[in-house]
Amino acid sequence: MELNQVFEQRRAVNFFDTEKKIDEETIRRIYDIAKLAPSSFNLQPWKIILASDPEQKEKLKKCAGGQPKVTEASHVAIVLGDKKAYEKMDPILDDFIARGFFGEQMRDTLKGMAKGLYAGENERAFASRNAGLFAMSFMLAAKSLGVDTHPMDGMDNNAVREAFNVPDDYDVVMLIAIGKHDEAKALLPRAGRKPFEEVFVKETF
């Protein structure tokens, strides 16, 4: 599928076929594409709780305002962003160094840079922006492999945190329902998008 077709065909699918399950191998293939998403310092500060067990999905639905797609989808990904990823840089820096991108002497400099940019009041924005890019990549990769998705942030984040034992370092960024569209239930047509002129401001605000 051409990339523009992937964009055109991806929809926030409201109705999933409860009979059609997505196998883990397919989810791994989606991940293998989506993992190429860019991230700050290549930190990949995301973690996904993958819920497919009916009880877990039921629990999640309660946290998500009772949205039926949470239980109708084959799986739901709870996308988390790691607010403290800048404190866990060593494996990523080991990889950079092993690849000869720079020498060991840069390790502390880069850690200091990341801390300066992302610590404190910036932690949440850092986690959301990176995990958000991963989430979009995941949804497009899924569509390219014939799998439908639906992003959701209509949820009680604290309830999700509690129900799924989310560690303090992580922010709950969004949910992505994953499955196959129930073709018997038509989606509304695609809603309008803002024109270029409304979105772009030339040179400066």
Interface contacts to ligand FMN, rule CB under 6 A: 11-12, 67, 151-154, 174, 190-191
Residue whose Cβ sits closest to ligand FMN: 154
- Cβ nearer to ligand FMN, comparing 41 with 150: 150
- Cβ nearer to ligand FMN, comparing 114 with 181: 181
Phi and psi at residue 38, to the nearest 5°: -75, 155
Least CB distance to ligand FMN at residue 106 (A): 35
How many angstroms separate the CA atoms of 175 and 62, rounded? 13
- Cβ nearer to ligand FMN, comparing 100 with 195: 195
- Cβ nearer to ligand FMN, comparing 67 with 71: 67
- Cβ nearer to ligand FMN, comparing 119 with 187: 187
Q: Got the DSSP string for the chain?
A: --HHHHHHH--B---B-TT-PPPHHHHHHHHHHHTT---GGG---EEEEEE-SHHHHHHHHHHTTT-THHHHSSEEEEEEEETTGGGS-HHHHHHHHHTTSS-GGGHHHHHHHHHHHHSGGGHHHHHHHHHHHHHHHHHHHHHHTT-EEEEE--S-HHHHHHHTT--TTEEEEEEEEEE-B-TTSPPPPPPP---HHHH--SS--
- Cβ nearer to ligand FMN, comparing 43 with 174: 174
Least CB distance to ligand FMN at residue 174 (A): 5
How many angstroms separate the CA atoms of 70 and 78, rounded? 11
Least CB distance to ligand FMN at residue 128 (A): 10
Least CB distance to ligand FMN at residue 11 (A): 4
Least CB distance to ligand FMN at residue 189 (A): 9
Least CB distance to ligand FMN at residue 194 (A): 12
